[in-house]
């Protein structure tokens, strides 16, 4: 059997089962010619959607540890089931709201193979992270080596082995973004992202979605309500509740981003002067 060049990895867990039907319905609408294998990362449950080749990973079926399987262990076990060199990382609440540019995706995968690029982020949002245009492609920028969230979990193309190498058993998603970023300071991996001038300025993305559809366990109203109604997706929003952006949130988010940037800059400076023993322990 010929292995396709890309696997779409939809990272999820059983508690977000209510997201699966709207996610895959919207994927079938906005990516109708998608022929890539899809792995839905689940703990025990399975899911199918007509016309899509979906495998449910069921990574906790053989879990022998105490308590619930950690986030990073779930993802590592799922990646073991991936048979392609590259993955498109998505999450179950990245609800597509416009057509996917599959041609550009495939062009970027070819570029990753040719130039040995380990990661291309497809939903970069931080305009103040010191990005710079990349010489390898006019529609790509380099993510600065000191970016405070140099690793994050927005949609992106990954070399599977590179993504595995940044994961550590027992970590949460938040810890992966924070400490995975710190680990990246010790390595020479070049990470790229979409050109913010080309894509963000036009509000047209390669994999278009509102980041994200679930906020603090509730449906994020601007991302889902009108979109679901438009496509006939019935959802009882009262079960999770609706999260609405407020004045406090609009004021708090920019300040919180600045504090994170100051913290991660300090981490980078510390990493530059720390010993090799400490670096290899991360």
pLDDT band of 262, cuts 50, 70, 90? low
The 10 Å CB-count burial string (b at 16+, else e) for 48-72 is ebeebebbbbbbbeebeeeeebbbb
Q: What is the pLDDT of residue 281?
A: 39
pLDDT band of 276, cuts 50, 70, 90? very low
Q: Is the pLDDT of residue 236 over 70?
A: yes
Mean pLDDT throughout 36-58?
Answer: 97
| Integer Cα distance of 95 and 208 in angstroms | 8
Q: What is the pLDDT of residue 3?
A: 47
Mean pLDDT throughout 43-51?
Answer: 96
- Tokens 């779409």 correspond to 8
Q: Are strands 54-56 and 37-41 parallel, antiparallel or unpaired?
A: parallel
Per-residue pLDDT tens over the stretch 50-99: 999 999 999 999 887 778 999 999 999 999 999 999 999 999 999 999 99
| Integer Cα distance of 191 and 183 in angstroms | 13
Domains of the chain: 6-212+246-281 (3.90.550.10)
Least confident of 18-27, 70-79, 143-152, 157-166: 143-152
Q: What is the pLDDT of residue 270?
A: 54
- In the chain, what percentage of residues exceed pLDDT 70? 86
In the chain, where do the E strands start and end?
6-11, 37-41, 54-56, 86-91, 119-121, 132-133, 140-142, 156-159, 191-194, 214-215, 218-220, 242-243
Q: What is the pLDDT of residue 2?
A: 45
Q: What is the pLDDT of residue 98?
A: 98
Least confident of 11-25, 165-179, 262-276: 262-276
Q: In sequence order, which ranges of 80-151 are alpha helices (DSSP H)?
A: 102-115
pLDDT band of 274, cuts 50, 70, 90? low
Least confident of 1-10, 82-91, 105-114, 162-171: 1-10
Q: What is the pLDDT of residue 254?
A: 52
Note whether 154 and 123 are within 8 A (CB): yes
Mean pLDDT of the chain: 88
Mean pLDDT throughout 257-279?
Answer: 49
Per-residue pLDDT tens over the stretch 189-233: 999 999 999 999 999 999 999 999 999 999 999 999 999 999 999
Q: What is the pLDDT of residue 240?
A: 96
Q: Is the pLDDT of residue 48 over 80?
A: yes
| Integer Cα distance of 165 and 156 in angstroms | 16
Note whether 174 and 57 are within 8 A (CB): no
Q: What is the pLDDT of residue 245?
A: 85
């Amino acid at each position: 059997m010929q292995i396709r060049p890309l696997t779409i990895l939809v990272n999820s867990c059983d508690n977000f089962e209510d997201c699966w039907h709207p996610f895959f319905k919207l994927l079938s609408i906005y990516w109708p010619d998608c022929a890539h294998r899809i792995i839905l990362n689940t703990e025990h449950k399975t899911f199918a959607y007509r016309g899509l080749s979906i495998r449910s990973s069921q990574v906790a079926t053989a879990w022998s540890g105490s308590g619930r399987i950690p986030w990073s262990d779930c993802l590592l076990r799922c990646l073991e089931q991936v048979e392609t060199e590259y993955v498109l990382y998505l999450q179950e609440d990245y609800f597509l709201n416009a057509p996917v540019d599959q041609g550009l995706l495939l062009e970027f995968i070819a570029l990753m193979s040719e130039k040995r690029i380990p990661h291309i982020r497809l939903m970069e949002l931080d305009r103040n992270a010191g990005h710079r245009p990349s010489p390898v492609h006019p529609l790509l920028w380099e993510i600065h080596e000191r970016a405070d969230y140099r690793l994050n979990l927005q949609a992106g193309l990954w070399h599977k082995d590179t993504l595995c190498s940044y994961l550590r058993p027992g970590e949460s998603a938040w810890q992966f973004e924070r400490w995975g970023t710190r680990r990246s300071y010790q390595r020479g991996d070049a990470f790229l992202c979409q050109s913010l001038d080309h894509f963000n300025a036009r509000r047209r993305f390669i994999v278009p979605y509102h980041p994200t559809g679930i906020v603090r366990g509730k449906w994020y109203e601007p991302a889902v309500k009108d979109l679901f109604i438009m496509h006939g997706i019935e959802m009882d929003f009262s079960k999770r509740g609706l999260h609405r952006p407020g004045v406090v949130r609009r004021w708090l988010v920019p300040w919180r981003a600045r504090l994170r940037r100051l913290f991660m800059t300090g981490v980078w400076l510390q990493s530059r002067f720390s010993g090799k023993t400490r670096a290899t322990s991360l």
